[in-house]
């Protein structure tokens, strides 16, 4: 019995597991200190009342044989697909058929599993820094090559740095699969419609596929920033889009997301939609009825209003962090269209050293930029998902420590 040797290439464990281990060890040794966690992008606000109400009703339906629900449809209940379609797409002028939307237990699963439908022989391009799941899942499936001098030999890295305004440049070599995430994790920077159009044109011209992660679209405040890649002409023939209820509706602990695969996306005479449909029907069995009813409630008038308030709460946190750090002399990015603040470490300190410094000295947890890729070195991510109180406290601690 032979294992998948690609797994052995991944040296360390998943970035956020590493952080959790370090923080847990610190807490164990220093139980008297109050640690403020602005590291992992996990929300803290309770679910919207409309969502709670819908899930309570769904639970009670499961208690009665007349309303009990067994296996959900593999791709999601029609009422949820319709709610997504109407509110997230049609409202922005994007026409989709419900059969182009696949509800799942989260965007992380979908981003990870999407590789199943593509050949191992594809050239993958990622932004650098980048959400580690895109890279790690390609390492596991054998597309990444070997790890040499802090990067994978067969992955095309597209540096996103201060110099290019954290926007990747079109690769000079031909690439097949391009991961884009906007508003970006970790940099918090957004892309304009004009800039995204260049990528769509490149992908269509080169028969590439763009895997577009728009998990943070709810944080967009600027008009010329697209919420969906399908707002860009030509995207349906080259792009798959991942969406999540985690950051929009606080579903990190509830688990729901969805993936859009337009029928127009055809490669090698095959509809990619049919491949994903087959993958999901075979290796997945749908999402909890209770979860789906909760997700549906996000699109009621009541739910939308409540969720907007929660988003506004986090947006205020983002501004607090951004402004606070700026006042303190830090160079900061993001926040405007994103729950993330991306900051330069002081005096080019290495990002894991800065992580240790913040944890040990002022008990604030962030995410070291290096964990997101080589170009993340020297940067650090703070998230707006804490409570307002903790966010204010963390900024005060940072100010006290660094502004003195």
34-73 residues in contact with a second copy (CB under 8 A) are 40, 42-47, 49, 52, 55-56, 59-60, 62-65, 68-72
Positive or negative: CA dihedral 296, 302, 307, 308: positive
- Please enumerate in sequence order all residues whose Cβ is within 8 A of that of 12, keeping only pairs 6 or more positions apart, or say none: 18
Sites for a second copy among residues 271-330 (CB under 8 A): 272, 275, 278-279, 281-291
Q: Tell me the angle at which helices 301-327 and 49-61 cross, rounded to the nearest 10 degrees.
A: 130
- Please enumerate in sequence order all residues whose Cβ is within 8 A of that of 250, keeping only pairs 6 or more positions apart, or say none: 43, 45, 46, 47, 48, 310
Name the token pair of 170.
Answer: 């079109």
**Beta-sheet pairing, 257-260 with 101-104:** antiparallel
261 binds a second copy (CB under 8 A): no
Per the CB < 8 A criterion, the answer to whether 381 and 186 are in contact is yes
Identify which of residues 90 and 205 has a Cβ nearer to a second copy in the complex.
205
Measured distance CA(246)–CA(257) in Å, rounded? 7
Name the token pair of 115.
Answer: 């590789």
Measured distance CA(95)–CA(261) in Å, rounded? 13
10 binds a second copy (CB under 8 A): yes
Identify which of residues 49 and 165 has a Cβ nearer to a second copy in the complex.
49
Identify which of residues 31 and 253 has a Cβ nearer to a second copy in the complex.
253
Name the token pair of 381.
Answer: 């991510």
Q: Could you tell me the smallest distance in angstroms from the CB atom of residue 326 to a second copy?
A: 28
* Of 90, 205, 270, 396, the one binding a second copy by CB under 8 A: 270
Identify which of residues 45 and 319 has a Cβ nearer to a second copy in the complex.
45
Sites for a second copy among residues 361-400 (CB under 8 A): 387
Identify which of residues 320 and 383 has a Cβ nearer to a second copy in the complex.
383
Q: Could you tell me the smallest distance in angstroms from the CB atom of residue 202 to a second copy?
A: 12
Identify which of residues 81 and 332 has a Cβ nearer to a second copy in the complex.
81
Per the CB < 8 A criterion, the answer to whether 88 and 258 are in contact is no
Q: Could you tell me the smallest distance in angstroms from the CB atom of residue 401 to a second copy?
A: 27
**Beta-sheet pairing, 239-244 with 257-260:** antiparallel
Sites for a second copy among residues 150-179 (CB under 8 A): 176-177
Q: Binding mask 72-101 vs a second copy (x if CB under 8 A, - otherwise)?
A: x-x---------------------------
Measured distance CA(323)–CA(256) in Å, rounded? 32
Q: Could you tell me the smallest distance in angstroms from the CB atom of residue 181 to a second copy?
A: 16
Q: Could you tell me the smallest distance in angstroms from the CB atom of residue 7 to a second copy?
A: 5
252 binds a second copy (CB under 8 A): yes
Q: Could you tell me the smallest distance in angstroms from the CB atom of residue 138 to a second copy?
A: 11
- Please enumerate in sequence order all residues whose Cβ is within 8 A of that of 180, keeping only pairs 6 or more positions apart, or say none: 127, 168, 191, 196, 199, 210, 211, 212, 213, 229
**Beta-sheet pairing, 379-383 with 340-344:** antiparallel
Q: Tell me the angle at which helices 289-297 and 49-61 cross, rounded to the nearest 10 degrees.
A: 150
* Of 19, 117, 200, 332, the one binding a second copy by CB under 8 A: 117
Identify which of residues 281 and 357 has a Cβ nearer to a second copy in the complex.
281
> What end-to-end distance do the CA atoms of the chain give, in Å?
61
27 binds a second copy (CB under 8 A): no
Q: Binding mask 228-247 vs a second copy (x if CB under 8 A, - otherwise)?
A: --------------------
Identify which of residues 250 and 376 has a Cβ nearer to a second copy in the complex.
250
* Of 19, 38, 84, 133, the one binding a second copy by CB under 8 A: 133
């Amino acid at each position: 019995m032979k294992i998948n040797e690609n797994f052995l290439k991944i040296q360390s464990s998943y970035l956020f597991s590493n952080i959790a281990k370090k923080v847990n060890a610190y807490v164990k040794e220093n139980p008297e200190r109050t640690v403020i966690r602005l590291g992992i992008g996990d929300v803290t606000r309770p679910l919207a009342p409309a969502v709670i109400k819908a899930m309570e009703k769904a639970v009670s339906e499961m208690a009665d044989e007349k309303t009990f629900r067994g296996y959900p449809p593999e791709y999601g209940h029609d009422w949820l697909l319709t709610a997504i379609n109407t509110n997230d797409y049609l409202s922005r002028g994007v026409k989709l058929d419900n059969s182009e939307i696949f509800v799942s237990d989260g965007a992380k699963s979908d981003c990870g599993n999407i590789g199943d439908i593509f050949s191992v022989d594809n050239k993958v391009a990622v932004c650098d820094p980048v959400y580690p799941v895109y890279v790690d899942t390609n390492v596991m499936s054998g597309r990444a090559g070997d790890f040499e001098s802090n990067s994978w030999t067969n992955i095309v890295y597209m540096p996103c740095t201060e110099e290019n305004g954290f926007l990747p440049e079109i690769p000079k070599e031909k690439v097949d699969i391009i991961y884009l995430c906007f508003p970006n994790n970790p940099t918090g920077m957004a892309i304009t419609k004009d800039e995204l159009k260049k990528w769509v044109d490149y992908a269509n011209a080169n028969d590439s596929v763009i895997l577009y992660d728009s998990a943070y679209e709810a944080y967009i405040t600027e008009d010329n920033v697209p919420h969906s890649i399908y707002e860009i002409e030509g995207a349906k023939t080259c792009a798959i889009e991942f969406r999540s209820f985690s950051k929009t509706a606080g579903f990190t602990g509830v688990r729901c997301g969805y993936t859009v695969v337009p029928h127009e996306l055809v490669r090698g005479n095959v509809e990619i939609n049919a491949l994903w449909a087959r993958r999901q029907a075979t290796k997945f069995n749908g999402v909890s009825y209770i979860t789906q009813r909760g997700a549906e409630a996000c699109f009621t008038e009541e739910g939308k209003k409540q969720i907007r308030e929660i988003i506004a709460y986090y947006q205020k946190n983002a501004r607090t962090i951004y402004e606070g750090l700026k006042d303190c002399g830090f160079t900061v990015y993001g926040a405007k269209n994103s729950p993330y603040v991306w900051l330069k470490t002081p005096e080019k300190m290495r990002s894991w050293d800065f992580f240790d410094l913040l944890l040990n000295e002022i008990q604030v947890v962030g995410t070291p930029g290096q964990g997101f890729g080589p170009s993340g070195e020297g940067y650090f991510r703070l998230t707006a998902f804490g409570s307002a109180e903790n966010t204010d406290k963390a900024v005060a601690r940072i100010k006290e420590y660094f502004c003195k």
